[in-house]
Amino acid sequence: MKIIELPIAFEFNGQTNTIFPSLIIANDELTLVDTGYPNFLPLIEHEITKKGYEMKYLKNIIITHYDDDHIGSLYDFKEKYPWITIIASEVESTYISGEMKSERLVQAEALLEHMPLEQLEFGTWFIKQLKDLKHVAINQKVHDGDMILQNECRVVATPGHTSGHISLYFPKLNSVITGDAAANEKQGLVIANPHFCLNMDNAKRSLRKIQNLQADTYYCYHGGKITI
């Protein structure tokens, strides 16, 4: 088994940004962790094939949490590769499937009521982005401590950014895929996008939790991997 990061560069608001979904390779089977913004499927496909892998071996997609930069292209992946198993925490699955309004949408709508005039355009656009996300059923709902991917990966509950956020720990590789529980800032682990955290106290505890794993490598969605 090995993990590689997929750097996906894109333009947003006049600036170049990069996200880093992870690809897990085990016994010729591929597992993608998070799917980028809407319409990112071709970008991710290109990065996977550029690294020498074939999309027909994509078996799973794991979603760390419900945010538009993590589930934006999930529906497109499921439509194109209907055989894939979609894995997420039980809490997040209710938002991804549309059973409940997402916490992020509730937060955004509440903030919009008190948003300064100069920020209203962005706030309105962001809410539309969240409402336009297409719902997808979750095939496998997981909980803290569950072992998945042939018992090579342990699910680590890391709430704070969202209440059902998960990270992934690989004991044999001594590596962690952090999602948004941590970001790489100047080769150090920090809380990702703190202004978006739904519970800052939980986010701080979750950051300590994955730091205490003392992994050799942390694969951060924002900022890329850190090798200790």
**Among 18, 13, 14, 40, residue whose Cα is nearest residue 183:** 18
Residues 61, 35 contacting (CB under 8 angstroms): yes
Q: Is residue 110 part of a domain?
A: no
pLDDT score at 12: 82
Give 83-111 pLDDT, tens digit per residue: 999 999 999 999 999 999 999 999 999 98
| 8-state DSSP, 196 | G
- Number of alpha carbons in the 13 Å side-chain half-sphere of residue 54: 3
Confidence label for 118 from pLDDT (cuts 50, 70 and 90): confident
Q: Is the pLDDT of residue 228 over 90?
A: no
Does 112 fall in a domain? no
Query: Residue 31 corresponds to which amino acid?
Result: T
- Give the residue among 159, 160, 157 at the shortest CA–CA distance from 169: 157
Q: Are 146 and 154 in contact (CB under 8 A)?
A: yes
CATH code of the domain covering residue 76: 3.60.15.10
pLDDT in tens, 28-73: 899 999 999 999 999 999 999 999 999 999 999 999 999 999 999 9
Domain-embedded: residue 37: yes
Q: Quote the pLDDT of residue 102.
A: 94
Predicted local distance difference test score (pLDDT) of residue 115: 85
Write down the pLDDT at residue 154. 98
Domain for residue 106, yes or no?
no
Task: Give exposure, 44-62, as e/b (b: 16+ Cβ within 10 Å).
Answer: bbebbeeeebeeeebbbbb
160-205 per-position pLDDT tens digit: 999 999 999 999 999 999 999 999 999 999 999 998 899 999 999 9
Structural domain including 82 reads 2-100+135-227
Q: Residue 13's pLDDT is what?
A: 78
Q: What is the pLDDT of residue 117?
A: 84
Domain-located, residue 121 = no
Supply the mean pLDDT for the chain: 96
Report the number of distinct structural domains present in the chain: 1
pTM: 0.96
Looking at the domain assignment, is residue 125 inside a domain? Answer: no
